Amino acid sequence: MVIAEITIVPIGTGSPSISRYVAECVRALEDAGIKYTLTPMGTILEGSLEEILEAVRMLHRIPLNKGVERVSTRVVLDERRDKNATAEDKVKSVEKRLKGKE
């Protein structure tokens, strides 16, 4: 399992707002049944490496298919083989440490 973060940045649209493209991406993730969480700086995805790269392909093309002339897409893939941790587990693991020391 891979935990990933993807951020789609449409360039040259004439508007500083990009929420309509992010909303389209969320709809596409819902339709594709991919586990996701929205954050203020990107979208967290969880799945196999193949599922995530297929989602990246799909999401990167959404603004281009809507006529945007240039898209810059950032992706970070985090894969760990020593244990099976979900995105939620990662945050909990830090919170547990914080409580332990306080």
Two tokens, residue 21: 């493209």
Contact between 66 and a copy of itself by CB under 8 A: the answer reads no
Task: Report the interhelical angle of 49-65 vs 19-32 (nearest 10°).
Answer: 140
Contact between 35 and a copy of itself by CB under 8 A: the answer reads no
Dump the DSSP string for 81-94: SSS---HHHHHHHH
| Residue 56 φ/ψ, nearest 5 degrees | -60, -45
Site string for a copy of itself, 74-93 (x = CB under 8 A): xxxxxxxxx----xx-xx-x
Binding interface with a copy of itself (CB under 8 A):
3-5, 7, 9-20, 22-23, 26-27, 37-42, 44, 49-50, 53, 56-57, 60-61, 64, 68-82, 87-88, 90-91, 93-95, 97-98, 101
